[in-house]
Amino acid sequence: MIKPTFVQNVNLMVNSAIKQINIDLDIATIIKSCRSVIQCEFPIKIGDQIEVFKGWRAIHSTHRLPAKGGLRFSSNVTQEEVEALAALMTFKCAIVDVPFGGAKGGLMVDPKKYKTEDLEKITKKFAREMIRRGFLSPARDVPAPDIGTSSREMAWILDAYKSLKPDDINHAACVTGKPVDHGGIKGRLEATGRGVYQALKVFFRHSEELKKTNLVGKLSDQKIIIQGFGNVGLNTALALFENGAKIIGIVEKDGCLFNKKGLDITNIIEWVNQNNSLYNYPKATVYKKSDKVFYMPCDILIPAAVESVIAKNNVHKIQAKLICEAANGPVTFRADQILNKKGIAVIPDIYANAGGVVVSYFEWIRNISHIRMGRMSKQYEENRGEQIVQAINSISKKKLPKNIVEKIIHGANEDDIVASGLEDTMKNAFQEILHAKNFFRLDTYRTAAYAVAIKKLEKSYLDLGI
């Protein structure tokens, strides 16, 4: 049998959910189709030579606008990959109740091969190609960082949009994941990783679900291995570490770390910032080959790199009790079926890594409203807190301790609001997934997550008209 492609894997997972829930078959056809794809080829003069670059932007669904999805820069990106990722974004937004359609973009370029000024020219030219064709605007299609891009590229895209649309007062909302000084929101960079932590935190609150995975104890008692130490893997590791979790292994292309007593993530981040590599890190066993750590026994395995890293040919080597997908599509459809038969639970990507789009939504709202979150309420909350402290102290012989007072009079700032909104969103989404799993008698969290998304999409299409 021919190995399914990424987009075929996504469709197989969607089909599996559709077969197990009651859904209009015409709506099912619509849900699996990608509404529109643009392909751009454009020349850029690099040094003394002209180079032609190719890129895509796919919009999977416009049942809600704007469409939302990352923009990745990679020499390996393809149209099919972009379409699959756009579909995942549609389901992801539906699961976490973010009112966006799904989109994704990709440019065939290796960012490491180009100087900053050349990469800026490439990025702005690609942005202009999309803007002129109506594929990028605050109201229709809003990109965000992905593999190979960051807040820097988003700032360049924002500048390109402003130059073409100077009268759009909402120009800052044309992209998310921007620098904070240019309309970004605090916590967006760390959002996907923190969302993965929140997904695990919520999962461990459900003792009935833990029993099914043979996991015992709290999240902080588990031995965790993370594959990938880019933005998502690093911030997932940091959020877990800061909350007491034990990470015993990190898997990267240039070196893998293992320490059964637990790794000091903050120290590793300092080492990577200084050496640009995990290799030769002195406080752990270092392996050159990634499979040395990836297949080690652990309680939780977190794939946080790229798609299809757990497939039919290697799934039998996995020795984790629970997999939490921080990357998009790290487990193929066939591998997912095998994991289910082996009793290894999977917290699916369309839920687990949705933290990025949740906080992107907060950033977009901030840009559209033109006001910092908490600006109008922070001082009011602090004043009310002080009144509460005074009231308590007036009727008690003992004064409240200073640390308690500080907590009571603390008014929520933007960081607090973003963190609270992310936690609440991940908690509510998991409750919906559990409800769907029980209501439709589904065997996996992935099928239940797709069921939640598909039913919401069905209702939207039937309400609005096809």
Residues classed as catalytic: 104
How far is residue 141's CA from residue 67's CA, in Å, rounded to a whole number? Answer: 5
Whole-Å CA distances, 41 to 3, 55, 94, 129: 29, 7, 32, 9
Q: Which residues of 63-90 are buried (b: 16+ CB within 10 A; e: fewer)?
A: bbbbbbbbbbbbeebbbebbbbbbbbbb
| 181: its two tokens | 């000084």
C-beta atoms surrounding 343 within 10 Å: 10
Whole-Å CA distances, 2 to 211, 213, 409: 37, 32, 62
The conformation of residue 3, written as its DSSP 8-state character, comes to: P
How far is residue 403's CA from residue 405's CA, in Å, rounded to a whole number? Answer: 5
How far is residue 260's CA from residue 247's CA, in Å, rounded to a whole number? Answer: 8
Beta-strand pair 223-227/246-251: parallel
Question: What is the SS3 assignment for 26?
Answer: helix
Cis check: omega of the bond before 348, within 30 degrees of 0: no
Beta-strand pair 256-258/67-73: unpaired
Residue with tokens 């759009």, as numbered in its chain: 168
How far is residue 457's CA from residue 63's CA, in Å, rounded to a whole number? Answer: 8
How far is residue 304's CA from residue 293's CA, in Å, rounded to a whole number? Answer: 14
How far is residue 129's CA from residue 38's CA, in Å, rounded to a whole number? Answer: 10
List of long-range contacts for 382-388, beta carbons under 8 Å, 24+ apart: 382/409, 382/410, 382/411, 385/409, 385/410, 385/411
Residue with tokens 């073409």, as numbered in its chain: 164
End-to-end CA distance of the chain: give it in Å, rounded. Answer: 36
- Please give the distance of CA 404 from its chain centroid, rounded to a whole number: 35
How far is residue 388's CA from residue 380's CA, in Å, rounded to a whole number? Answer: 12
- Asked whether the beta carbons of 239 and 190 are under 8 A apart, the reply is yes
How far is residue 263's CA from residue 269's CA, in Å, rounded to a whole number? Answer: 11
